C-alpha cells in the first residue's frame, strides 16, 4: 500500500479514537456539570428555606418579648451620661 494511504488511514483511525475519547470525556464532564448544577440548585433552595426560617425566628414580634424579659428597653431620657474630657469614671461596686 502506498505510504500516503497508510498514514491517512492511521490518521483517520487515530482521529476516531481521539474523538471517541473526547466524546466520552465530554459526556462525563456533562454528567459532572449536571450533578454539580443539581447540587447548586439544591443548596440554593436550602439557603432560601434557611433564610426564611432565620427571618421568621428573628421577627421583631418574637424577639421583643424575649428582650423585654431580659430587662432590655429602648433608651430613655436621662439614661445617657455625657462625659467631660479628662474626667475619671469610677466603675465597680458603689460603696454606701
Least distance CB 96 / another protein (angstroms): 19
Give CA–CA dist 7/33, Å, rounded.
37
Q: C-beta of 48: minimal distance to another protein in Å?
A: 4
Give the footprint of another protein on this chain (CB under 8 A). Answer: 2, 4-5, 8-9, 11-12, 15-16, 19, 23, 26, 30, 34, 41, 44-45, 48-49, 51-56, 58-61, 64, 74-84, 87, 89
Q: How far is CA 66 from CA 31, 54, 76, 84, in A?
A: 50, 16, 19, 35
Amino acid at each position: 500500500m502506498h505510504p500516503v494511504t497508510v498514514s491517512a488511514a492511521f490518521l483517520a483511525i487515530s482521529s476516531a479514537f481521539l474523538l471517541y475519547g473526547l466524546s466520552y470525556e465530554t459526556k462525563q464532564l456533562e454528567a459532572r456539570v449536571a450533578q454539580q448544577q443539581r447540587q447548586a440548585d439544591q443548596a440554593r433552595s436550602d439557603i432560601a428555606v434557611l433564610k426564611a426560617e432565620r427571618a421568621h425566628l428573628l421577627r421583631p414580634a418574637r424577639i421583643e418579648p424575649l428582650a423585654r424579659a431580659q430587662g432590655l428597653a429602648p433608651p430613655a431620657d436621662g439614661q445617657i451620661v455625657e462625659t467631660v474630657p479628662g474626667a475619671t469614671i469610677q466603675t465597680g461596686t458603689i460603696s454606701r
